[in-house]
Structure 1
Amino acid sequence: MSAPADAARLPAAAAPRRWWPAARRGERDPGAPSWLTLMAFLAPALLLYAGLTAYPVVRTFADSLYDLENMDAPRFVGLAHFVAIWSDETFLRAIRNTLVWSFVAPFLDVATGLLLALCLYAGVPFARFLRIAWFTPVLLSYVVVSILWLWIYNYDWGALNLALRALGLDGWARAWLGESSTALAALMVTHAWKWAGFNMVVCLAALHALPSEVLEAAELDHCGWAAKLRHIIIPMMRPTLLNLYILAFIGKMKVFDLVWIMTQGGPMWSTETVSTYVYKRAFAWNTFDLGYPSAIAVVWFIIVLAAAAVLHLAFRQREKLEY
């Protein structure tokens, strides 16, 4: 008897089981929502994304290829704007300042947050009050923070210069935001002060999540705080610290409001960032040409994507090395 005939005589219980899902056999899952239902829920979010994110990005790319001084009759210039920006000294200065912000300042942010978290973890006096006080700046807007630190940095009656004069360090008092050598560093300190509380909370949660057995073993071996921090705590917190650094890096690549309120890019372009320079060329200088600032925005968009990809690859490689 042939094989097909033998298979036909098999009882239903002995029939081969089907391991593929019903959806692959063309059968519809009765519990699955219909496409109409899915689109009804997705449509509002997709429309907002298309109108407020996708369309402005596409329009910026398109505007970068035109001279828009006359909006009624835009003139196609191709890649002329992209060639011109690399000879723009102000733009190159803005790139340098922004990269300094993005690569150097996150170390200050994360280190400050880690230091505050270690203080709370060690049980300093008034820890409950300090936790609230150190986190409060995170809740303040950039406008409030900027005005507050403008008062602190004031040359005549600012708290910083008054403290230096009270300690007999009159020679150290200076116009912190009025000198090119100190303005950018002063803005970094202000930014670190605002976000130290956020980094503190994250680092404190990571500290409490560390295995107590390892820390107790280090104490039994008479390991001091400095050695414990260097050889145990920081290596075990490395993924958390790297994540905080990447978040701070991405945020500082687009920094605008703090710089604009406190210095507007001055003095002498020493605190100019790409975001503030694009805003000036588009709206503040009354040039009425959105083509050139659009080209700057496109170039910086590509640079940010490339930097984020490099950091992502470096972080992923570090994770592989750890395991």
Structure 2
Amino acid sequence: MMSDMAKHAGTDVEAPARASRAPRTRRFSDPRRASFPVLLVFLVPALAIYFGLTAYPAFRTIYDSFFTIEGMERIPVGFANYVALWQDETFWVAVRNTFIWAFVAPILDVATGLLLALALYAGVPFARFLRIAWFTPVLLSYVVVAILWMWIYNYDWGVVNELLRAMGLGDLARSWLGDPNTALAAVIVTHAWKWAGFNMVVCLAAIHSLPREVLEASELDNCGWGAKLRYMIVPMLKPTLLNLYVLAFIGKMKVFDLVWIMTGGGPLWATETVSTYVYKRAFNWNTFDLGYPSAIAAVWFGVVCAAVILLNKIFKSKDRLEY
């Protein structure tokens, strides 16, 4: 009897202690109730990296655009760099080429990825091998892709011209990267080849997530592939396709690597983009003035932000699909 009373007494004494510890344990385990010092431990490293590598360079570029910077000497010039920018014909050629990249090339990227995904979904022969083969270019660096396609476009022994000559179309053979009329299109095709596999994987995942009941019902109604693609698959994939387009648009507004390696912006500015032009004015032309290229970068930063906001508003789906 005495031992039972002792046990009950011990239980009654420990109960308030456990009750007092429970809220404290929940407070530390629940991230929504974490104290401010705990939040700082996780936020400070991320914020330091963001401000040090992203925010500060962006604001410093905008600040430098109001100066003429030669070595360690800074000469305030106000908006002179921006005024000179409006009269820079090469800049406007670069803007035109970049807009072609940003608005036209994503259509090719997304459409190619969708077609490849549909081919895999339809069960083409060697689908397992083709899935790996089509995705492999995504894993290659821009340097490898650029050199590979420079060989393909070679005038004397490139695959493209050799195929044209073999088919009796030798008159169409040309220096694809040396002709101002074809250089930009040739580089865009190369870029689409590299990223088609990424779009293919995303589209294929989206297709597999579509409701099978709807697709099976269309097959029972003898709906052909063309009608099924036009009236069912593409409308249900619209959010995915638009997101891929916006992502491709952002990437191509700042395209640099592939253009710089394959053509360097030439010939005759035919493939010049804003990014390559900024690099040339800052480091390649030996002008020793970082103020003017900073003005170009600042203007283009605003253009990209405005274009992304505009595209998000245009493509914002009012009718949410639920399935």
* TM-score scaled by length of structure 2: 0.88
* Map of 1:106 onto structure 2: 106
Distance in 2, Cα, partners of 1:97 & 1:67: 27
**Does residue 263 of structure 2 align to residue 260 of structure 1?**
no
1:47-126 alignment, distance < 5 Å: 47-69=48-70, 71-126=71-126
1:265 Cα deviation after fit:
0.3
Identity %: 70
Q: Deviations over 1:148-194 (max 9, x none)?
A: 00000000011111111111110111100000110000011000000
1:33 Cα deviation after fit:
2.8
1:30 Cα deviation after fit:
3.7
Point out the more displaced range, 207-216 or 137-146: 207-216
**Does residue 321 of structure 2 align to residue 320 of structure 1?**
no
Distance in 1, Cα, partners of 2:76 & 2:155: 49
Distance in 2, Cα, partners of 1:275 & 1:198: 23
Q: How many residues align?
A: 294
* Map of 2:202 onto structure 1: 202
Distance in 2, Cα, partners of 1:142 & 1:122: 31
Distance in 2, Cα, partners of 1:130 & 1:285: 45
* TM-score scaled by length of structure 1: 0.88
Distance in 2, Cα, partners of 1:103 & 1:30: 50
1:142-181 alignment, distance < 5 Å: 142-181=142-181
Structure 2 spans left out of the alignment, 5+ residues: 1-25
The one-letter amino acid paired with 1:141 is S
* Map of 1:24 onto structure 2: none
* Map of 1:40 onto structure 2: 41
Q: Secondary structure at the match of 1:75?
A: strand
The one-letter amino acid paired with 2:300 is W
1:321 Cα deviation after fit:
4.1
Point out the more displaced range, 71-80 or 132-141: 71-80
Q: Deviations over 1:35-75 (max 9, x none)?
A: 22222222222221121111111110111000112x33311
The one-letter amino acid paired with 1:257 is D
1:287-302 alignment, distance < 5 Å: 287-302=287-302
* Map of 1:236 onto structure 2: 236
Q: Secondary structure at the match of 1:67?
A: strand
Distance in 2, Cα, partners of 1:97 & 1:228: 36
1:244 Cα deviation after fit:
0.6
Distance in 1, Cα, partners of 2:232 & 2:49: 47
* Map of 1:280 onto structure 2: 280
Point out the more displaced range, 38-47 or 207-216: 38-47
Distance in 1, Cα, partners of 2:75 & 2:34: 49
Distance in 2, Cα, partners of 1:214 & 1:73: 68
